[in-house]
Structure 1
Amino acid sequence: MAPSATATTTETVARSKTPEVTHLGACKVLTPSRYSNGTEEAKTGLKAAKHYGHEKDADTSFKDLLLEGVEVTHLTPTMGTDVRGVQLSSLSNTGKDRLTRFVAERKAVPFRSQDCADLPIQEALDYARYSGRHHIHPMSGSPEGYPEVCLAHHREGDRSHETFFDTRTSSVAWQSDVSYEEQPPGSTFLHVLDKPETGGNTLFGDAADAYNRLSPLYQERLHGLKASRSGIE
Structure 2
Amino acid sequence: MAIAQSFSPFLIPPENMVAAPFSPLGSLSVYDSYDETPHVGTRFPNKTTQLSRILEAPNSDELVKDLATLVSHRGVVFFSEQDLDIEKQKELGTRLGELAGKPATSKLHVHPISEQTPELTADVSVISSEGGIARNGYSKSARASAGWHTDITFEPVPSDYAILKLHTIPAVGGDTLWASGYEAYDKLSPAYQKFLEGLTALHDGSGFRKYAKELGTPINDPRGSPENTGSNLQAVHPVIRTHPVTGFKSLFVNRGFTIRIVELHDDESAEVLNYLFRHVAENHDMHVRFRWNKNDIAIWDNRCTFHTATNDYQGLRLGNRVVSIGEKPFFDPSSKSRRAVLGL
TM-score interval w.r.t. the shorter chain? 0.5 to 0.7
Match of 1:171 among 124, 144, 159: 144
Match of 2:37 among 76, 83, 88: 76
Match of 1:122 among 87, 92, 115: 87
1:150 maps onto 2:151 in alignment: no
The 1:186–1:81 alpha-carbon spacing in structure 2 relative to 1, beyond 3 Å, is: same
1:66 maps onto 2:29 in alignment: yes
Equivalent residue number for residue 183 of structure 2:
209
The 1:100–1:154 alpha-carbon spacing in structure 2 relative to 1, beyond 3 Å, is: same
Other structure's SS at 1:109 match: strand
* Aligned-pair CA distance for 1:141: 4.3
Given the two structures, how large is their TM-score scaled by the length of structure 1? 0.61
Comparing both structures, which one devotes a greater share of its residues to strand?
2
Query: For 1:15-73, what per-residue CA distance to the aligned partner results, in whole angstroms no more than 9, with x for missing partners?
Result: xxxxxxxxxxxxxxxxxxxxxxxxxxxxxxxxxxxx899xxxxxx77453231xx3212
Contact 1:64 1:95 in 2 (8 A): yes
1:87 maps onto 2:50 in alignment: yes
CA distance in 1: counterparts of 2:2 and 2:169, whole angstroms: 35
Counterpart code for 1:82:
R
Match of 1:135 among 95, 98, 109: 109
Given the two structures, how large is their TM-score scaled by the length of structure 2? 0.43
- Stretches of structure 1 lacking an aligned partner (at least 5 in a row): 1-50, 54-59
The 1:148–1:52 alpha-carbon spacing in structure 2 relative to 1, beyond 3 Å, is: farther
The 1:93–1:225 alpha-carbon spacing in structure 2 relative to 1, beyond 3 Å, is: closer
Contact 2:115 2:121 in 1 (8 A): no
* Aligned-pair CA distance for 1:164: 2.0
Equivalent residue number for residue 32 of structure 1:
none
* Aligned-pair CA distance for 1:150: 0.9
CA distance in 2: counterparts of 1:126 and 1:165, whole angstroms: 36
* Aligned-pair CA distance for 1:125: 2.3
CA distance in 2: counterparts of 1:165 and 1:175, whole angstroms: 17
1:109 maps onto 2:77 in alignment: yes
Other structure's SS at 2:43 match: strand
Decide which moves more: 121-130 or 182-191: 121-130
CA distance in 1: counterparts of 2:24 and 2:64, whole angstroms: 14
Please tell me the root mean square deviation across aligned C-alpha atoms, in Å.
2.9
Contact 2:43 2:77 in 1 (8 A): yes
Identity of aligned residues (%): 27
Other structure's SS at 2:144 match: coil
4+ residue stretches of structure 1 with deviation over 6 A? Answer: none
Other structure's SS at 1:98 match: helix
